[in-house]
């Protein structure tokens, strides 16, 4: 039945969202290596080796394309904030 299909899809989406938020929350306090990809909106963006998206409190474009160490300080729905170590 299409209604059941839609209801189950919404439940699965919620479970995935909750799981992702919990995973990102568990990253707080960890020191990780991050591949910095770009400067965007006043912060550097990159990914850890387990593909955690990270926003780094820096505008140093010389770090783009490099792997740097950061400490994860906060989590949000889709990414974590980090600071340079």
Reference 84, options 75, 37, 53, 72; nearest CA is: 72
Q: What's the pLDDT score for residue 11?
A: 97
- 3-state SS class at 3: helix
* Residue ranges per structural domain of the chain: 2-84
3-state DSSP percent of the chain in helix, strand and coil, to 5: 35, 40, 25
Q: Are 20 and 75 in contact (CB under 8 A)?
A: no
Q: Are 29 and 13 in contact (CB under 8 A)?
A: no
Q: What's the pLDDT score for residue 47?
A: 98
Report the chain (85 residues): mean pLDDT per 10 consecutive residues. Answer: 95 96 97 97 96 96 97 97 96
Q: What CATH architecture applies to the domain 2-84?
A: Beta Barrel (2.40)
């Amino acid at each position: 039945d299409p209604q059941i299909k839609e209801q189950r899809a919404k439940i699965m989406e919620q479970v995935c969202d909750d799981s992702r938020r919990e995973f990102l929350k568990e990253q707080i306090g960890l020191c990780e290596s991050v591949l910095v990809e770009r400067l965007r909106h006043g912060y550097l963006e990159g990914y850890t080796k387990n593909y955690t998206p990270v926003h780094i409190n820096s505008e140093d474009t010389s770090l783009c394309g490099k792997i740097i160490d950061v400490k994860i300080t906060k989590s949000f729905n889709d990414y974590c904030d980090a600071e340079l170590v």
